[in-house]
Amino acid sequence: MTKSGYPVSKESGKVQVRAVIASAASDIPGLGFDPDATPYFNPTMGQLIYGDCKFQPSLMDGLPSGSSGVSGGDKIPYWSYFTKLITPPKTKVVNIGSMTSDPDLGIYGCCASLALGSVDNARRLIKPNADQDTTIGEILMSDPLLRPKTVLHISDGLILKFAGGKEFDANYSISPGLLLASTDPVALDSMALVRFEKMRLNPGVGIPPIPKIGNVPHIAGAALVGAGTTDPAKIEILQAK
């Protein structure tokens, strides 16, 4: 665990672990964001926080309070830098996303977890009210940083959470015991959404029907930019033996 960047207490009989917050200045391999790799640009303005690549201690509300040592490009945080975990040339990514509903995104599955987990300054990239939002799809399609390095997506449906907010709630969870694998994260998430909608119509004894999730902007947008498909006719399901 120490080699992975988690300081562990050496005291006999005790194991103490504290989280490590990514920093651009970190000397731990793979920790932090890569200032030398081409960042993702999005015109939605962000608010930098500690851990973001271009965050500075002198920042006030995410914006520079002075001009000393600050480049013009850093004053307006339209950029999201990729994590050092994926920027090395020979990296291969196996992404595990969960079948979990999200009140802002509809589903926090394979697409959202990989895209938003791969860049900093990502809070600005969640756009729940758009008809189609290509942001997450654009990050997934980033070449050469992410798309060619991602070799497999696994959708974890051992426990499926179809409603109830971000925290676990047994009232809105079932255990289908599913593990789905594909090179197409959009297909995996769209299949999970179908299951969500069925469960929301009949959530269980004593629980009234829950409104449908309906359109999920980032899934529609990801399909639009070629990150995958939502068309059931183009999705082939094979059972692993």
pLDDT in tens, 144-157: 999 999 999 999 99
In this prediction, residues 31-42 reach a mean pLDDT of 91
Instruction: Quote the tokens at residue 97.
Output: 């996303």
Question: pTM to 2 decimals?
Answer: 0.82
Q: At residue 216, what is the residue type? A: V
**Angle of helix 217-224 versus helix 110-118 axis, rounded to 10:** 80
Enter the tokens of residue 108.
Answer: 């926090």
Q: Phi/psi of residue 191, each to 5°?
A: -70, -40
pLDDT digits (tens, 9 = 90+) for 170-206: 889 999 999 999 999 999 999 999 999 999 999 988 8
Provide the terminal-to-terminal Cα distance of the chain, rounded to the nearest Å.
34
Give the C-alpha separation, 111 to 116, whole Å: 8
